[in-house]
Amino acid sequence: MFDLIVKGGTLPDGRVADIGISGDRIAAVEPRLEGEARETVDATGDLVSPPFVDPHFHMDATLSYGIPRVNGSGTLLEGIALWGELKGVMTHEAVRDRALAYCDWAVSMGLLAIRSHVDTCDDRLLGVEALLEVRDIVRPYLDLQLVAFPQDGLFRDPAAWDNTVRALDLGVDVVGGIPHFERTMADGARSVTALCELAAERGLPVDMHCDETDDPMSRHIETLAYETQRLGLQGRVAGSHLTSMHSMDNYYVSKLIPLIAEAGVAAIPNPLINIMLQGRHDSFPKRRGLTRVKEMQAAGIAVGWGQDCVRDPWYPLGTADMLDVAFMGLHVAQMSHPEEMRRCFDMVTETNAAIIGLEGYGLAPGCTASLVVLDAGDPVEALRLRATRLAVVSKGKLVARTPRADAALDLPGRPGGMRRRHRAGS
């Protein structure tokens, strides 16, 4: 007797299978399960995937768009200034309630694990305490990891070091940083070294905002990869954004990419936000603001798409939909080959889960019973349609359902309704 069976769905690898769930674990994945179940979800003809994972977000800022004003220039720097204004009027309850509302959006979109940065440049640590509370509240249905993020610069803000250490003492999971925001390149490099040493001492992962600029001389990813190797942090370090790589000299990059690969540093580009923020100082030609995704993947580097922002000082849109993120990334990185499109789907599921070290992830027996049923025939179709999440199961419980969005038509000689499915060659 299973608690729940998801019947007849198509898995990302193309197999058609029933998934039997007992408690919070997947108990069986078979072409046809004969056992009884307390509850059944019919997924015949639909895609069943492990849940979406977002490896880069800012939950202390989300859903604050327009408070106290909007970002007029659309730049990263005005966003940071605006965030400073918002911090002055923020309350614990407001941050907590906005974060919880965003987690509701996330669950409805099958996004069940999020790594969120939290600003530690605040003597009150108000955002840190609010998000630690949120992490506990959502734990039964959403895995939230927190990164200690000295937004105003580890050395640029005189209190940042102490407050970042205090945040880690309170239970924040990951060490973050923002070397390109320090006053000099030398300070940026020093901040990378200091933060990697802090992570090594405490046995924590590192996830650093790195080179989120159009300046090709912003090369802090080099220091991050070097320190990862020097301190033996291989496999637990990520560089987020890395946008300056789009404008770096090709010879330099031919040395840099093998260094990142050897160091086992993962890359987290955030295509929605960076296609919006970067290139704002360019006239024409105007740069795309995305790092070298395919080139890093070809070198064996783990690259996962992140969302970064939803309705906050930096980005006015967003719906917690990781398929939107992958869809934008696919376009900006020109990943149009069927294998590349498929990889974009994997990037927002399996690759992101591996980058943030999520345990028990997948659709095999013994894995955590979390999955999403999508109104699509396969992963690439899910991307094309940004498919409706028909059902979301988290840790064994059915937590969200959304009706299918078929259109009804009234046209002479045409069918009365349709679903925008399409198979190549048909």
The single-letter DSSP state of residue 239 is: E
Binding mask 265-304 for Zn ion (x = CB under 5 A): ----------------------------------------
CB of 58 to Zn ion, least distance (A): 6
Closest to Zn ion by CB, 211 or 308: 308
Question: Tokens representing 294?
Answer: 């395919």
Closest to Zn ion by CB, 268 or 371: 268
**13, 50 contact by CB (below 8 A):** no
Q: Which of 349, 304, 344 is nearest to 11 (CA)?
A: 349
**256, 292 contact by CB (below 8 A):** no
- Residues 150-180 as b/e (b if ≥16 CB within 10 A, e otherwise) read bbbbbbbbeebbebbebbbeeebbbbbbbbb
Closest to Zn ion by CB, 308 or 378: 308
Pairing of strands 389-394, 2-10: unpaired
Closest to Zn ion by CB, 290 or 400: 290
Q: Which of 310, 369, 257 is nearest to 26 (CA)?
A: 369
CB of 398 to Zn ion, least distance (A): 32
Closest to Zn ion by CB, 78 or 262: 78
Which amino acid does the sequence have at 262? E
Which amino acid does the sequence have at 142? L
CB of 36 to Zn ion, least distance (A): 47
Question: Tokens representing 15?
Answer: 């197999």
CB of 209 to Zn ion, least distance (A): 5
345: left (phi over 0), alpha (psi -120 to 50) or beta: alpha
CB of 176 to Zn ion, least distance (A): 9
Binding mask 181-200 for Zn ion (x = CB under 5 A): --------------------
Q: Which of 61, 47, 62 is nearest to 320 (CA)?
A: 62
Please report, in angstroms and rounded to a whole number, the separation of the first and last CA atoms in the chain: 40
Catalytic residue among 182, 212, 227, 381: 212
Closest to Zn ion by CB, 3 or 308: 308
Closest to Zn ion by CB, 119 or 308: 308
**163, 134 contact by CB (below 8 A):** no
CB of 54 to Zn ion, least distance (A): 11
CB of 309 to Zn ion, least distance (A): 7
Q: What's the length of the chain?
A: 426
What residues numbered 298-357 form the site for Zn ion, per CB under 5 A? 308
- Distances in Å between the Cα of 409 and the Cα atoms of 370, 375, 384, 420 are 35, 19, 22, 13
DSSP H or E stretch at residue 360: none
Whether 212 is catalytic = yes
In angstroms, the CA 213 to CA 229 distance is 25
Residues that bind Zn ion (CB under 5 A): 308
Question: So which residues are the catalytic ones?
Answer: 212
